[in-house]
Amino acid sequence: METPTEKQRRHDLEVVVRYVKEDLFANVKFIYDPKLDLAVGGRIYQDYKTKCCSQLGTDLQTTAHRDLHLKGVWTDALTKHTQKNALAQKRSAVYTVMQNKFSGESVFSFFTAGMFIRCRSHSLNSDLCHVCVDRNCVMLSLESVERRLDDPKACYVFYQYFYKAAVGEVRWKEFVEKNEGRIGNNTTEAFALLLFANNYKAWMYEEKLKHGDALSTEHDQDSGGKTSLVDTLLGEQEFVLEEDAEIAGSLVVCDTADASYKLAGDRREEWLANFKARPICVEMVRSWAASAHGTTGNEENETGELLPNKRSRDKKRRRIMKGYKKWTGTADDGERKFKGWSDNGHKAFERYTQVIKADVEGGRCARWEKAYRMITAMHREARLDEVEPSMLKYSANRSVVWEL
């Protein structure tokens, strides 16, 4: 049984863990040098004192005693590597949510012809790959997502599914409902993009094994006339992010006859046509096909037991997936790893952050997030207007079940 002192110490460490996961992660994604970054008196420590002073040492009478207690808790947590471990757990949690958005299961919806349609497949899939298979549409490429504001429709998918996962559902809703200011922050968006870029090829390899040719991507030379995922999710809606469009109040255009609507669509089609001619497309398709060869076949015997070659195939599949991870997979010769990430991964994180920061300072990000809030409000209103008898909430007879 815990003594009061042990219980207090456990509570104090839990406060530190919550601080790291809920507050620190929003601004700091990696601890590079624990002795320097987490030192008492440093920037992170000062932030910890500000955020946690009302939760620690509240029974102490003087500020000096409370400061001493805060220092003791922080030092104790450092000894146990609590801060580093909590930050790593948070990164892993974000990864898991993003992977589920890419290939998880739930109900999915899409917006078309001014109506919000909720679809249910037999397994209630809402991840993007299942949406593509069930709705017969084309999955986005990594390159489309990396274009960010140059491809607002792809950016919408990234925001809605992956950036939101990094920020967290509750905080995301708070940011969107403010109707002003940045949604999240620069480093959180950059980290979401970093995770997506690092794992895209591995996640797609796994989904290609599940769905085969039924899952088309923008890397395929012939998509069989399928509609793009972005058009399936957004319907007849285009984003126009020029300054003139903001002044005119036409950041979101739904009129298919409008010149700006046509121009936005033509720009994406032109980029996609040029993209399909790039060697990376052929390389991606060939690598998925080659890796899939040898990982399929009879996997169980008549009694349902795993065959030896099934085990070896699973081991091979995990090895292939690790190799497909851009910066956390198998390290190149002479490449150094830090916290599982190669130097090139950390460089990419800095590069993404700088590009995003430039868009924020130039005003493009503000116009984009204004358009995002507009489209989100349109979809919310469409959901409220949606008539679906099977989903109507049962209205209880209060005169029967209440005895007031």
Other Cβ atoms closer than 10 A to 158: 22
Q: Are residues 36 and 138 in the same domain?
A: no
Ranking 112-126, 288-302, 349-363 by mean pLDDT, the lowest is 112-126
307 pLDDT exceeds 60? no
Sign of the Cα torsion 36, 39, 41, 47 reads positive
Distance CA 273, CA 133 (A): 22
Residue 116 is predicted with a pLDDT of: 41
One domain, residues 284 and 373: yes
Looking at residue 23, what is its pLDDT? 94
* Angstrom distance (rounded) from CA 246 to CA 249: 5
Q: Is 71 in the same domain as 148? A: no
Examine residue 214 and state whether it is found in any structural domain, yes or no: yes
Return mean pLDDT, the chain: 84
Residues 70, 126 within the same domain: no
Q: What is the mean pLDDT of residues 315-331?
A: 78
Is the per-residue pLDDT at 76 higher than 90? yes
Could you tell me if residue 394 is inside a domain?
no
Which one-letter amino acid corresponds to residue 162? Answer: F
Residue 105 pLDDT greater than 70, yes or no: no
Does residue 325 carry a pLDDT above 80? yes
Query: What is the pLDDT confidence band of residue 360, given thresholds at 50, 70 and 90?
Result: very high
- Find the mean pLDDT for residues 351-364: 95
Statement to judge: residues 194 and 138 lie in one domain: yes
Q: pLDDT above 90 covers what percent of the chain? A: 50
In a domain, 125, yes or no: yes
For residue 351, being part of any structural domain is answered with yes
Residue 313 lies in a domain: yes
CA 385/CA 361 separation, integer angstroms: 38
Tell whether 133 and 175 lie within a shared domain: yes
What is the CB neighbour count within 10 angstroms for residue 217?
A: 23
Range with top average pLDDT, 117-121, 134-138, 348-352: 348-352
Task: Let me know whether 245 and 137 are in one domain.
Answer: yes
Average pLDDT over residues 275-291: 83
Residues 110, 72 within the same domain: no
Strand ranges (DSSP E) for 124-190?
A: 137-139
Instruction: Quote the domain boundaries for residue 342.
Output: 96-293+304-385
What is the pLDDT, as a whole number, of residue 108? Answer: 40
341-342 and 337-338 as β-strands: parallel, antiparallel, unpaired? antiparallel
For residues 347 and 219, membership in a common domain is answered with yes
Lowest mean pLDDT among 11-20, 186-195, 222-231: 222-231
What's the pLDDT score for residue 274?
Answer: 93
Q: Is the pLDDT of residue 88 over 70?
A: yes
For residue 85, is it within any domain? Answer: no
Asked if 70 contacts 25 with a C-beta cutoff of 8 angstroms, the reply is no
Instruction: Judge whether residue 173 has pLDDT over 60.
Output: yes
**Lowest pLDDT segment from 105-109, 170-174, 365-369:** 105-109
Which of residues 270 and 107 earns the better pLDDT score?
Answer: 270
For residue 404, being part of any structural domain is answered with no
Question: What kind and span of H or E run contains 194?
Answer: helix 186-211
pLDDT reading at 261 higher than 70:
yes
Instruction: Give residue 121's pLDDT band: very low, low, confident or very high (50, 70, 90).
Output: very low
d(CA 87, CA 65): 28
89 in a domain, yes or no?
Answer: no
Those residues whose C-beta lies under 8 Å from the C-beta of residue 233, and which sit 6 or more positions away, are: 110, 111, 131, 156, 157, 160
Segment 89-111 shows an average pLDDT of 77
Cα-Cα-Cα-Cα torsion 143, 149, 150, 155, nearest 10 degrees, comes to: 50
Owner of token pair 């070659």: 309
Reported for 288-296, long-range contacts at CB under 8 A and 24+ positions apart, including other chains, are: 288/204, 288/205, 288/208, 291/205, 291/320, 291/324, 292/205, 292/208, 292/209, 295/209, 295/320, 296/209
- Window from 134-148, 298-312, 348-362 with minimum mean pLDDT: 298-312
- The answer to whether 321 touches 205, Cβ cutoff 8 Å, is yes
Q: Number of structural domains, the chain?
A: 2
Q: Within this chain, do residues 55 and 177 fall inside the same structural domain, yes or no? A: no
Please tell me the distance from the alpha carbon of residue 220 to that of residue 138, in angstroms, as a whole number: 9
Tell me which amino acid residue 342 is: S
HEC secondary structure over 362-376: HCHHHHHHHHHHHHH
Structure confidence at residue 44 (pLDDT): 95
Spatial distance between the Cα atoms of 249 and 378, rounded to a whole number of angstroms: 15
Which of the two residues, 8 and 162, has the higher pLDDT score?
A: 162
pLDDT tens profile 327-347: 987 665 455 556 688 889 999
Same domain as 376, residue 286 = yes
- On whether both 179 and 232 belong to a single domain, the answer is yes
